[in-house]
Structure 1
Amino acid sequence: MKPIVIKIGGSTIENLPDTFYQEIGLLMKSRPVVIVHGGGPAINNRLKELDIEPDFHKGLRITTPEIMEVVEQVLAGSLNKKLVRHFYINQVVAAGISGQDGGLLIAEKMDEHIGLVGDIKNVQPAILNVLLDQNIVPVVSPVGLSQSGEPLNINADHAAVHIAKALNASMLFATDVPGVMENGSVLHQLNQEDVTRLKAEGIIIGGMIPKVDSALFAIEAGVDEAVILNGFQSQVIANYFKGKSVGTRFKKKVAQT
């Protein structure tokens, strides 16, 4: 069966219910599942504890060597292992890895102004396939490597998309919202033209903008379908695979009804 990559936002991780992890376990019986997670809030909390002031340039975290060390400690360490423990508690076998393991995510620096922030150039999914062949859920933190071996901080959405493309997988974005809403109802299918219109009309605003932009980035990168759905809603993943109308699906072309 076609693999599925599920991206979990950093603000969503802390409060995901047990049903989410249980559904992943059930899903693994029929298809491979890879989890990719963010962790911005947890990184900020740790920086605050260390009295290190975070700084951003054009929306991207400026990652000095000092901050990169914290990013690795949080993303590839405490937060990643917290997710693995949640899977274990719910009787799902998972393995926490970073984009450095097995040379999974090879990147190059995006911009000298933002330091150790990487733009992915190559995905080597062998380590994912080894785990999936053993029915183990890979839980990937978005920390990659440069060609020279430097650690690089990578946008979690981009990491998930590149992994999905390498695996020829579909993508789910597990969030705390049911999808793009208009007049109290979920819009179940959108494309680029729809999104442009909805932004202009003030319907897609605030925190929904980066979610939608990430889904469109996935489609433009060659992923066949990307879906924003509510990871807190019971049975939402199962219902998606049953073909029910849950979340907002993004495709390059949407049939007119």
Structure 2
Amino acid sequence: MSLSPIVIKVGGALLEDEQAALSLLTSVGEVMKTRPVIIVHGGGPLVETLMAALNLPSQKIDGLRVTPDEHMPYICGTLAGSANKSLCAFAIRSGLTPVGLSLLDGGMVSCEPLDEKYGAVGVPAANDPTLLKSLTSQSLLPVVSSIGSSDSGRLLNINADQAATVIAQLVDGELLLLSNVKGVLDGNKQLIAELNQQQIDSLVDDGVITDGMKVKTDAALLAAASLGRPVTIASWDANINTILNKDTGTRVAP
């Protein structure tokens, strides 16, 4: 039986750290000798920079970026264009053969608008794994941006954690949420190896898990519940095999 694919979600900030990106992708190459890997990425910092440069307002409701349809050409160009191709270029430098994709390619993921108050923000659902399975069977590295489309062809901005979860559902993969933190830390700044919903709630109540880490643990809990398997929060500075061997990172149980 072939091993299930690894789905790695990285934030857009990785693109601003050349050494970290090259180190991660070299590590991905090692993993790809034994099992397929798919990368899903966001690009929030890049979008913020562009919006500021264009003097376009950046509004959030409940932590979600409000995305007017007239902003989508810029967001699409940033995420599916410059962010995606920069990551693909790092993959090439690391000796890999990437294929840059968006959620809308090959009917992989179907999306529908979340709520009109958010504009062109969508909710993804797993649809057809044929394209991804074809690419990974040829030892290619799919690099997927979080841009989707409705059935009517309306471009939609998708939360990258949700996008990565749906891709993991699509290929029955193991999901790693990687960022610039090594995992969830306890009150003494020590890494916690495993957490469940009850333990996370307790750490939130105690003020140990706050802000950005709460966003990550919420995303991991949702992903673990929908995948029916643990999801790992870890650092993109860590070797992927080290994460898979449970030697670093925090595993969040469903």
Give me the TM-score of the superposition, normalised by structure 2.
0.94
1:190 aligned to which of 195, 200, 207: 195
Name which of 74, 77, 81 aligns with 1:77: 81
Q: Which amino acid aligns with 2:192?
A: L
Match for residue 14 of structure 2 among 12, 15, 19: 12
Q: In structure 1, give the amino acid aligned to 2:54.
A: L
Structure 1, 146-155 or 113-122: larger mean CA deviation: 113-122
1:120 is paired with a residue whose SS is strand
- Structure 1 residue 249 corresponds to structure 2 residue 241: no
Question: Given the alignment of the two structures, is residue 126 of structure 1 paired with residue 130 of structure 2, yes or no?
Answer: yes
Counting only pairs closer than 5 Å after superposition, residues 73-222 of structure 1 correspond to structure 2 as 73-182=77-186, 183-222=188-227
Q: Which amino acid aligns with 1:51?
A: N
Deviation at 1:106, TM superposition (A): 1.1
In the alignment, the residues of structure 2 paired with residue 187 and residue 121 of structure 1 have an alpha-carbon distance, to the nearest angstrom, of: 31
Instruction: Find the aligned partners of 1:232 and 1:196 in 2 and give their Cα distance.
Output: 27
AA partner of residue 200 (structure 1): D
Judging by fraction of residues, say which structure has more helix. Answer: 2
- The amino acid that maps onto 2:203 is L
Indicate the SS of the match to 1:11.
Answer: helix
Paired letter, 1:67 = H
Separation in structure 2 between the aligned mates of residue 147 and residue 209 of structure 1, nearest angstrom: 33
Contact kept, 8 Å, 1:63 with 1:117, in 2: the verdict is yes
CA contact (8 A) 1:111 1:117 kept: yes
Q: Which segments of 5 or more consecutive residues in structure 2 lack a partner in the other structure?
A: none
Q: Return the offset for 1:206.
A: 1.9
Distance 1:17 1:148 in 2: 36
Measure how far apart 1:123 and its partner are. 2.6
Distance in 1 of aligned mates of 2:174 and 2:246: 16
| Residue 32, structure 1, aligned to residue 48, structure 2 | no
| 3-state DSSP of counterpart to 1:63 | coil
Aligned length: 249
What amino acid sits opposite 2:55 in the alignment?
Answer: D
| Residue identity opposite 1:147 in structure 2 | D
Task: Tell me how far 1:19 sits from its aligned partner.
Answer: 1.7
CA shift, 1:17, in A, is 4.0
Deviation at 1:222, TM superposition (A): 2.1
- 2:236 is aligned with 1:231: yes
Instruction: State the SS of the aligned residue for 1:207.
Output: helix
Q: Secondary structure at the match of 1:12?
A: helix
Q: Equivalent residue for 2:4?
A: 2
Q: In the alignment, is the contact (CA less than 8 A) between 1:116 and 1:153 conserved in 2?
A: yes
The DSSP-based 3-state class of the residue aligned with 2:28 is helix
Taking structure 1 as the reference length, the TM-score comes to 0.93
Kindly indicate whether the alpha-carbon contact (under 8 Å) linking 1:161 and 1:171 is maintained by their aligned counterparts in 2. Answer: yes
Gaps of 5+ in 1: 253-257
State the match for 1:240 in structure 2: 243
CA distance in 2, matches of 1:91, 1:121: 32
Structure 2 CA distance for partners of 1:108 and 1:17, relative to 1, 3 Å:
closer
Residue 255 of structure 1 is matched in structure 2 by none
Shift of 1:97: 0.6
